[in-house]
Amino acid sequence: MSVFEPTLSSKKLAEATGRNWEEWLELLDQAGAERRSHTEIARWLSDEQGVPGWLAQSITVGYERSRGLREPGQRAEGWSVTASTIVTTPVNTAFEAFERESIRDKWLPDAELHLRTATAPGSARYDWGDGTTGITVSFERVGRDRCRVSLEHQKLPGSQVADRMKSWWRERLEALKSLLEDG
């Protein structure tokens, strides 16, 4: 069984719902949640227990993790990893470093990104390689000529691939930071 590390404290959960983690886990066990799908658990929490949508999702994921039914980063459609960095450059410049292949090749060589949608300079979605996985990138201004680049790589096929890609993306974002800050 995996180690349960909730994303919401038991105290805050109790303040929001009237039950702490221990109480929710016990109630879900009694309701047979271990034999239900993620969607069924979240729907039961919402419909039968009156838990608002985002809290129902959080409790469901917490339950699945506590019972070894889901690993951190695991989603219904596969694993997901994130990476981010703050770069001393205008947000438009960071966005362009993803959009323009001539710049992207300098910090992300041999990577196949196929643009799906973009809202310049705030976000972009790409298919990765053959399109079985995808990337979402957001660009947020965090000061004069500084921005945060946050990336999520979704639909990865397993935890080992996710671990490798998380390290790889951290390295690549550091390469992006070096390129944009040092030229």
Domain that holds residue 85: 75-182
- Give pLDDT, residue 168: 97
Judgement on whether residues 174 and 86 belong to the same structural domain of the protein: yes
**Tens digits of residue pLDDT in 71-96:** 777 777 788 899 999 999 999 999 99
Judgement on whether residues 110 and 134 belong to the same structural domain of the protein: yes
Phi, psi of 118, rounded to the nearest 5 degrees: -150, 145
Q: Residue 21 and residue 12: Cα distance in Å, rounded?
A: 10
5 inside domain: no
- Give pLDDT, residue 4: 64
**Taking the CA of residue 157 as centre, how many other CA atoms within 13 Å lie in the half-sphere pointing to its CB?**
2
Taking the mean position of all CA atoms in its chain, how far away is CA 67?
21
Helix (H) / strand (E) element for 28: namely helix 21-30
Q: How many domains does the chain divide into?
A: 2
Check which CATH number belongs to the domain holding 109 and give it.
3.30.530.20
CB 103 within 8 A of CB 97: yes
Last residue of a domain, one of 31, 57, 72: 72
2 inside domain: no
Judgement on whether residues 46 and 60 belong to the same structural domain of the protein: yes
**Burial state string for 98-127 with b = 16 or more CB within 10 A and e = fewer than 16:** bbeeebbeebbeeeebeeeeeeebeebbbe
- In the chain, % of residues over pLDDT 70: 96
Judgement on whether residues 63 and 111 belong to the same structural domain of the protein: no
CB 20 within 8 A of CB 38: no
Q: Residue 1: is its pLDDT beyond 50?
A: no
**Tens digits of residue pLDDT in 95-129:** 999 999 999 999 999 999 999 999 999 999 999 99
130 inside domain: yes
**Tens digits of residue pLDDT in 26-36:** 999 999 999 99
1 inside domain: no
The answer for residues whose C-beta is within 8 angstroms of residue 141's C-beta and 6 or more apart is: 90, 91, 147
Judgement on whether residues 79 and 68 belong to the same structural domain of the protein: no
Judgement on whether residues 48 and 91 belong to the same structural domain of the protein: no
Q: Mean per-residue pLDDT for 177-183?
A: 94
CB 180 within 8 A of CB 93: yes
Q: Is 72 in a helix, a strand, or coil?
A: coil
Judgement on whether residues 102 and 177 belong to the same structural domain of the protein: yes
- Give pLDDT, residue 2: 45
* Mean pLDDT computed over every residue of the chain: 91
4 inside domain: no
Judgement on whether residues 60 and 117 belong to the same structural domain of the protein: no
Angle at the Cα of 30 from the Cα atoms of 25 and 35, rounded to 5 degrees: 90
